[in-house]
Amino acid sequence: MEGKITINDVAKAAGVSKGTVDRVLHNRGEVSAASKARVLKVIEELGFSPNVYASLLASRKVRKIVCLIPEFHQGEFWELTEKGIGAGQENAAKYGVEVVTVRYDQYDMESFQRACARTLEEDPVGVVLAPMFRNETLKFVKELSAKGIYYVYIDSKLEEDGYLAYFGMPMYQSGYLCADILTMGMPVRSVNIIRIARDKKGLSDPTLTRRTGFVDYIGEHFPDCEVRNVFIDPKDRDLRFEALDRMFGQMPADHLVMFNSRIHLVADYLRERGVHGCRVVGFDVLEKNLAALREDYVQALIAQHSDQQAAAAIDSIVEVSLLHRPLAKRDNFTQMDILNRYNCDYYL
């Protein structure tokens, strides 16, 4: 915009034409090693950086990014992620990049496979995905790599090496933190972990790591504290209430925690049974969780900005694939937010 140096300046200084400079810029071959070297040197010396608008304006091609995430109902965890996809979409749109979302049933592997196929059909420059099925995901990202398609993990990541970036919570630490919040750093006799009973075949369980962190904290700080596991059914209300009745019947249960986003299931029980005085901690800012927090059936929520994570994931692909900017960090462990009834209204 100012006395900016342009591709013409580079061309002149290197003694070649704009065409050649453009070719080395996007290294699409057809350039002798000699001129390439010369151009590169001049670019370096002059500190040339291309004008994004001019570039985008001239090359009017549509680029796509696809987001591959689970289907969900309103009020569930992935809703926030989707909101972030919307934000990322807006930003990408500024660069003429289209963002499409492909969904699958997170409990149905074949549905995931079909979604992968659909993703490839879109011929995207990059894909943002949450790895729910470990093996299938590994297979899929290998394909992406082969085709030169960038991919970035959100929510959780797999231990492999081809991803462009990762945006998500540090799972182990979140469990560790959770234990501190639950106990308030003071000795407690026992804690009850409420878990979802479900047969998971091939499903990776990100909350496992979180639970490990939790248990480690308890072991390190309060070795005498008993850690109990109670399983509930998310679908069947009656069974769930029965299980919780049994729990409260058997022994004093004044410290409750869940490692997924469904602490509201417990809150429902407490509300209905009129149980007060428990310390209850859960994860994530679902509307129902917030309600429980405000009513004081839940005392704290550990939250993450899954919206920002998704938006950042999309941005990272835009940055790299269009603007050719290197990424600052590959693994982005985002902050863990502690929410209580006094600060939750200013979240989001």
Partner DNA sequence: GTGAAAGCGCTAACAT
Partner DNA sequence: ATGTTAGCGCTTTCAC
Number of residues that bind DNA (CB under 7 A): 31
Contact partner, 35, from its own copies, DNA, none, Cβ < 5-8 Å per class: DNA
Q: Which stretch binds DNA (CB under 7 A): 24-32, 73-81, 108-116, 200-208?
A: 24-32
Residue 30 structure tokens: 């057809």
Q: Is 37 in the site for its own copies (CB under 8 A)?
A: no
Q: Per rule CB under 8 A, is residue 180 in the interface with its own copies?
A: yes
Least CB distance to DNA at residue 12 (A): 10
Minimum CB–partner distance for residue 169 and DNA (Å): 37
Contacting residue, 13, 20, 77, 240, with DNA by CB under 7 A: 20
Q: Which does 146 bind (CB under 5 to 8 A by kind): DNA, its own copies, none?
A: none
Question: What span, in angstroms and rounded, lies between the C-alpha atoms of 129 and 13?
Answer: 44
317-333 core/surface letters (b: 16 or more CB in 10 A; e: else): bbbbbbeeeeeeeeebe
Q: Which is nearer to its own copies, 250 or 335 (CB)?
A: 335
The DSSP secondary-structure symbol of 330 reads: S
DSSP conformation letters of 253-294: --EEE-SSS-HHHHHHHHHHHT--S-EEEEES--HHHHHHHH
Residues in binding contact with its own copies, number by CB under 8 A: 32
Closest CA to 337 of 297, 289, 270, 274: 289
Does the protein bind DNA through residue 34 (CB under 7 A)? yes
Contact 181, 306 (CB under 8 A): no
27 interface partner picked from DNA, its own copies, none, CB below 5 to 8 A per type? none
Task: Rule CB under 8 A: choose which of 94, 147, 246, 330 binds its own copies.
Answer: 94
Tokens representing residue 199 in the block: 């047969």
> Whole-number minimum distance, CB 57 to its own copies, in Å?
5
115 CB contacts (<8 Å, ≥6 apart)?
A: 68, 102, 103, 104
Distance CA 13, CA 46 (A): 9
Residue from 309, 287, 285 nearest 67 by CA = 309
Q: Which two tokens stand for residue 232?
A: 């509930």
- Judged by CB under 7 A, the residue of 27, 41, 45, 54 near DNA is 54
Residues in the site for DNA, rule: CB under 7 A?
4, 6-8, 15-20, 22-23, 25-26, 29-32, 34-36, 48, 50-51, 54-55, 57-61
Residues in the site for its own copies, rule: CB under 8 A?
1-2, 51-54, 56-57, 60-62, 94, 96, 170, 173, 176-177, 180, 184, 333-338, 340, 342-343, 345-348
